[in-house]
Chains A and B, each alone.
Chain A
Amino acid sequence: MSLWDFYARNSQEVLGLVGQHLYLVAISTGAAIVIGVPLGILLTRRTAWRGPVLGVANVFQTVPSLALFGFLIPLPFIGGIGATTAIVALVLYALLPIVRNTYEGVTGVDPAVREAGRGMGMTDWQLLTQVELPLGFGVILAGVRVATVVSVGTATIAAAIGAGGLGVYIFRGVAVVDDTLILAGALPAALMALAADGLLGVAEQRFAWRGK
Chain B
Amino acid sequence: MAGEVRGGRGDGWTVGLWVLAAGLLSGCGHRERIVVGSKNFTESDLLGEIVAQQIERRTGLSVERRFHLGGTFVCHQAITSGRIDLYVEYTGTAYTAVLKHAPVVDRDSVYRTVARDYLQRFDLVWGKPFGFNNTFAITVRRRDATRHGLTRISDLARLAPRLKAGFGYEFLERADGFRGLASVYGLRFASPPTAMDLGLTYRALADGKVDVIAGNSTDGQIEALDLAVLEDDRHYFPPYEAAPVMRQAAITRYSGVAAALAQLAGRISDAEMRRLNALADVEHRDIATIARDWLRASLP
Known contacts A171-B169, A176-B173; is-contact A66 B199 (Cβ 8 Å) = yes
The docked-state distance in angstroms from the alpha carbon of A1 to that of B39 is 26
CB distance A175 to B169 under 8 Å?
A: yes
**What 4 A-B pairs come out closest when comparing CB atoms?**
A175-B170, A162-B194, A160-B197, A175-B169
B143-171 CB contact bits vs A (8 Å, 1 = yes)?
00000000000000000000000101110
The docked-state distance in angstroms from the alpha carbon of A69 to that of B200 is 8
Q: 16 extra interchain contacts, Cβ-Cβ under 8 A, other than A160-B196, A173-B73?
A: A69-B200, A70-B199, A70-B203, A73-B204, A73-B207, A74-B203, A82-B194, A159-B195, A161-B196, A161-B197, A171-B197, A174-B73, A175-B173, A176-B97, A176-B174, A177-B76
Is the interface on chain B under 10, 10 to 19, 20 to 34, or 35 or more residues?
Answer: 20 to 34
Interface of chain B residues 183 through 230 with chain A (CB within 8 A): 194-197, 199-200, 203-204, 207, 209-210
> A: which residues have CB within 8 A of B?
66, 69-70, 73-74, 80-82, 159-162, 168, 171-178
Partner of A160 from the list B73, B76, B97, B200 (CB cut-off 8 Å) is B200
> B: which residues have CB within 8 A of A?
70-74, 76, 97-98, 166, 168-170, 172-174, 194-197, 199-200, 203-204, 207, 209-210
Partner of B70 from the list A70, A74, A159, A174 (CB cut-off 8 Å) is A174
By a CB distance below 8 angstroms, the chain B residues around A175 are 71-73, 97, 168-170, 172-174
What is the total of A-B residue contacts with beta carbons within 8 Å?
A: 72
The docked-state distance in angstroms from the alpha carbon of A114 to that of B136 is 66
Q: Which of B70, B195, B204, B209 has the most CB of A within 10 A?
A: B195
CB distance A73 to B73 under 8 Å?
A: no
The docked-state distance in angstroms from the alpha carbon of A69 to that of B76 is 28
Known contacts A70-B203, A174-B70, A175-B173; is-contact A81 B166 (Cβ 8 Å) = yes
CB distance A81 to B197 under 8 Å?
A: no
Of all chain B residues, the one with the shortest Cβ separation from A80 is B209
Give 15 A-B contacts (CB < 8 Å), ordered by A residue: A66-B197, A66-B199, A159-B169, A160-B196, A168-B195, A171-B169, A173-B73, A175-B71, A175-B72, A175-B73, A175-B170, A175-B172, A176-B174, A177-B73, A177-B97
